[in-house]
Amino acid sequence: MGIRNSRAMKEAREKLGRIPGRKAAGFALSKVTVPNIYRFFGLLSIIIAISFYLVWSILYDTWGDVGLYDFVVVLLVFGVLTLLLVDEKEREKRLKEQNN
């Protein structure tokens, strides 16, 4: 049953690749995993934090606003900790696989 399922999956991937414009979508969907979703949101929060700080500071000329720092630091810390969490979980998974 496992061979049959993997053969069916391989055929489906080949068919998906033959449809114009669908090959890239099939590749992108194969990379959607929980760690990659966490990475996306971690990077997104970092990008939003930096962008918000720069845009707000340029528009309102408030480079040293404490309220702005409070908002931006929370987003930055959330993004960095999310990325660190994903890396740590993957490191644990690799060590567990090596020990087995």
List, for residues 6-15, the tens digit of each pLDDT value. 776 667 666 6
Amino acid at 99: N
Instruction: Please state, in angstroms and rounded to a whole number, the distance separating the CA atoms of residues 100 and 92.
Output: 12
Q: Where are the alpha helices (DSSP H) in the chain?
A: 2-18, 23-30, 34-60, 66-99
61 in the same domain as 44: yes
Q: Which residue range is the domain that position 8 belongs to?
A: 1-31
64 in the same domain as 45: yes
Instruction: Please state, in angstroms and rounded to a whole number, the distance separating the CA atoms of residues 32 and 62.
Output: 39
> Model pTM?
0.68
The pLDDT assigned to 100 comes to 77
23 in the same domain as 40: no
Instruction: Please state, in angstroms and rounded to a whole number, the distance separating the CA atoms of residues 91 and 96.
Output: 9
Q: Are 17 and 36 in contact (CB under 8 A)?
A: no
The pLDDT assigned to 82 comes to 96
Query: How many structural domains compose the chain?
Result: 2
pLDDT in tens, 28-81: 566 788 899 999 999 999 999 999 999 999 999 998 889 999 999 999 999 999
